[in-house]
A and B are shown apart, each in its own frame.
Chain A
Amino acid sequence: MKVSVHYFAGLRDRAGCNSEEMDLAEGTSLTALYAQCCARHGIDFPRERLRVALDDAFVSWDHGLHDGAQVAFLPPVSGG
């Protein structure tokens, strides 16, 4: 399945792109996807500090992925 991964703020700088498409084996979890992204870009931000969004909504890390999913890994926010 193909998914799009979106990066913001510090993670975007580290990834060097706003988003990218990734080809995943069926059944790949969000945590496994984040690990792949970390390995690919040398990201060392601990997963425990991130929130994750799927198709523009917050989800828990054990939420499943589907073909065409839009995934975003969100570092701690600093608006306001």
Chain B
Amino acid sequence: MRSFAISEVAIDPARLRQALHLPQCGALVCFEGWVRDNHMGKAVQALDYQAYRELALSEGERIMREAGERFEIVGAMAVHRVGALALGDLAVWIGVSAGHRDAAFSACRWVIDEIKARVPIWKREHYSDGISEWLHP
């Protein structure tokens, strides 16, 4: 199973995790990316995420497919939030199940790194001094 999704509403990790709970798997590694209250020394109050939806979905699916080719995994799912998020909200969830833990750890790390580098989604941070800016690293 491979899937990449974009969600306008809160991500439900319990439901996603259930879909990866497969009998041939001995390991599940999850990554949760949360909205943090600071960035480069500035206090952050909230975030917006904006996506180029069509391209984000196709590039995200491509990453999940590539993960299946690179690593000995069984299931891989990723969901990225868009819209307005508050501190502590879950912004991205990734789960990878595999026969053994090594592949699950490696694939999960690879998937989040590829998503951050390749998927057309942008973050705007709102700072406590009233300024907000899109991050274009």
Contacts of B119 in A (CB 8 A): 77, 79
Pick out which of these stretches binds chain B: A24-32, A35-43, A52-60.
A52-60
CB atoms of B52 and A79 under 8 A apart: no
A8 neighbours in B (Cβ, 8 Å) = 50, 52, 120, 122
**A48 to chain B: closest CB distance in Å?**
13
Within 8 A of B (CB), among A6-30: 6, 8-10, 12-13
Q: Which residues of B contact A10 (CB under 8 A)?
A: 122, 133-134, 136
Interface readout for B96-137 with A: 1 if CB under 8 Å, 0 if not? 000000000000000010011111111110000000011111
Assess whether A72 is interfacial by the CB under 8 Å rule. yes
Minimum CB–CB distance for B101 against chain A, Å: 23
Contact bitstring A48-80, B, C-beta under 8 A = 1, else 0: 010101001110000000000000101111111
C-alpha gap A49/B137 in the complex (Å): 10
Q: Is B92 an interface residue (CB 8 A)?
A: yes
Most buried by B among A13, A57, A75, A79: A79
Which residues of chain B have C-beta atoms less than 8 A from A13's C-beta?
A: 134
Residues of A within 8 A of B (CB): 6, 8-10, 12-13, 45, 49, 51, 53, 56-58, 72, 74-80
* 5 A-B pairs (CB sep. < 8 Å): A72-B52, A79-B56, A79-B92, A80-B80, A80-B115
